[in-house]
Structure 1
Amino acid sequence: MELPGGGWELVKAGESATSVHRRGAVFAKTCGPDGVAELLAERDRAEWLASTSVPGARVLDWIESAEGAALLTSAVPGVTAGDLPWSEKLVASLARAVRAVHELPVESCPFERRLVDVVAQAEDVVRRGAVNPDFLTDDARLVAPEELLARVRAALPAVQAAQELVVCHGDACLPNFLFDPDTLEWTGTIDVGRLGVADRYSDLALVKAQLEDEWSVDAAAFFAAYGVVEPDAERLAFHLLLDALTWG
């Protein structure tokens, strides 16, 4: 998808056949024809989130043609958590940010990420042989994707019975939360293409994994600041595995 005008600089090639460019204070995420539906879903979620108390990117334009689509959004001030050094203050700010998303009124959110739909997405990825090993833990890489999926299916009834539905980010990784590098106050949330009503543990599992993998720190301080005294280890493991099987 060709962007209008000039001066665009490539920021990164995305996880799902998208590319991100920047020109000044504007970001442009582009995709080919096959990615239009997914990018449109992100546009709609970003527009909805901008109507809430959660800070994030504003949708500036949507361009669609036979070549694909482009989503133009405003830059969010600050630095991603993934580009900042670990500190107790930053972990506490991250916990408040995740909690703020989760405290949005569920009844006002028009988007859902039902467990049965996410599992169906994982089934499709496994069936196509498209599981990305980069998203799996070291132990999971030693197991056939079909066996991993069987574990998800076996645990699904118990997780469904225990789920707590809130508005979830859907991809609650460190690069998707930005902070003021001086005060470490939360400045915004980006990449909300998977946002929707879901079990809060679908976000908490990803944050925990990121804290351990990227910062090599125990997630106990995060959970304490978030407000979960005794996190459910089984639900954390379930959602981490399920998420890993959906990227493909």
Structure 2
Amino acid sequence: MGPVTNAGMLPSGEWEPVEIGESDADVYRRADGAEYAKCADLAGVGELRDERDRIVWLAGTGLPGATVADWIETDAGACLVTTAVPGVAAADLPASAYDRATEQLAGVLRALHDLDPADCPFTRPLTDVVRQAEDVVRRGAVNPDFLNDEWRAERPEDLLARIQADLPRMRESADLVVCHGDACLPNLFVDPETLAPTGLIDLGRLGTADRYTDLALVTTQLRDEWNADPAPFLKAYGHPDADPAKLAFYLLLDPLTWG
């Protein structure tokens, strides 16, 4: 993590900086582990406020996750304090738990996707996401660490061109649900013993979007991080015949949007 710049906005108590997620905000854990705080300067207040609102909304659906404990806004920025989600990230599970965890992860993701999208006040239109990718590529801000070996051999502009060429077809086939938006294994928490889901974290991208936004990330992470066949996950989720072209599209789009 970079220099701690926003510690002055933290609530009273003992806090320690931690490195978590891909956010530019400074993240801290309370010494007793009960709460986390994410602090942003003025430029990041809007994004942090959006994340706060998504946490509040998801908590009202009954799905497991953090709750907002405090919101502090000053002339210098803002600080979002949330309760700690119990359990461990799916990314930290031992290999012996992978088979049992697969069905649980499929279940919580399906429960999220089964929420009525009409009730969700947050949207991530595909055209907006592609514009975000266009901006990242234009600024030369694509992080090569987020690209696989095949993609690193190509120019980001050429990767983006592939996305733009497929965009009309993907818009026509969109299957809109409430998506996490960054459904990778570090953001899905489970009980280490029962493997029951205990919460979804890092909700800054939550909103209605094509379900493949999430399916592409989870299935690839299962393959890359767990060295596991994603087929059992897709079967448990209810999409055993997932469209490989859509999985590939959303998998390529995601790394172009971080930067």
TM-score range, shorter chain: over 0.9
8 Å Cα contact 2:21-2:202 kept in structure 1: no
Q: Which stretch has the larger CA shift, 8-17 or 167-176?
A: 8-17
1:9 — aligned with what? 16
1:74-93 → structure 2 map (5 Å cutoff): 74-86=83-95, 87-93=98-104
2:203 — aligned with what? 192
2:26 — aligned with what? 19
8 Å Cα contact 2:176-2:208 kept in structure 1: yes
Q: Which stretch has the larger CA shift, 76-85 or 197-206?
A: 76-85
Q: Secondary structure at 2:72's aligned position in 1? A: strand
1:31-110 → structure 2 map (5 Å cutoff): 31-86=40-95, 87-110=98-121
Give TM-score, length-normalised by structure 1: 0.97
Q: Secondary structure at 2:149's aligned position in 1? A: coil
1:206 — aligned with what? 217
After TM superposition, which residue ranges in structure 1, 4 or more long, deviate above 3 angstroms?
none
Match for 1:174 among 176, 185, 188?
A: 185
Q: How much does 1:13 deviate?
A: 5.4
Whichever residue aligns with residue 233 of structure 1, its letter is: P
2:3 — aligned with what? none
8 Å Cα contact 2:142-2:258 kept in structure 1: yes
2:256 — aligned with what? 245
8 Å Cα contact 2:103-2:233 kept in structure 1: yes
1:142-161 → structure 2 map (5 Å cutoff): 142-161=153-172
Q: How much does 1:117 deviate?
A: 0.4
Q: Secondary structure at 1:71's aligned position in 2? A: strand
Give TM-score, length-normalised by structure 2: 0.93
Q: How much does 1:36 deviate?
A: 1.2
2:135 — aligned with what? 124
5+ residue gaps, structure 1, are none
Q: Secondary structure at 1:245's aligned position in 2? A: helix
Counterpart Cα distance in 2 of 1:214 and 1:142: 22
5+ residue gaps, structure 2, are 1-5
Whichever residue aligns with residue 62 of structure 2, its letter is: S
1:227 — aligned with what? 238
Corresponding pairs, count: 248
Match for 2:125 among 96, 110, 114?
A: 114
Q: Secondary structure at 1:139's aligned position in 2? A: helix
Q: How much does 1:37 deviate?
A: 1.2
Counterpart Cα distance in 2 of 1:142 and 1:218: 26
Percentage of pairs with the same residue: 58
8 Å Cα contact 1:14-1:20 kept in structure 2: no
Q: What RMSD over aligned residues (CA atoms) do the two structures have, in Å?
A: 1.1
Counterpart Cα distance in 1 of 2:238 and 2:20: 36
Report Cα offsets for 1:192-211 as digits up to 9, x if no partner: 10000000000000001111
8 Å Cα contact 2:216-2:248 kept in structure 1: yes
Report Cα offsets for 1:117-143 as digits up to 9, x if no partner: 000100111111101111111111111
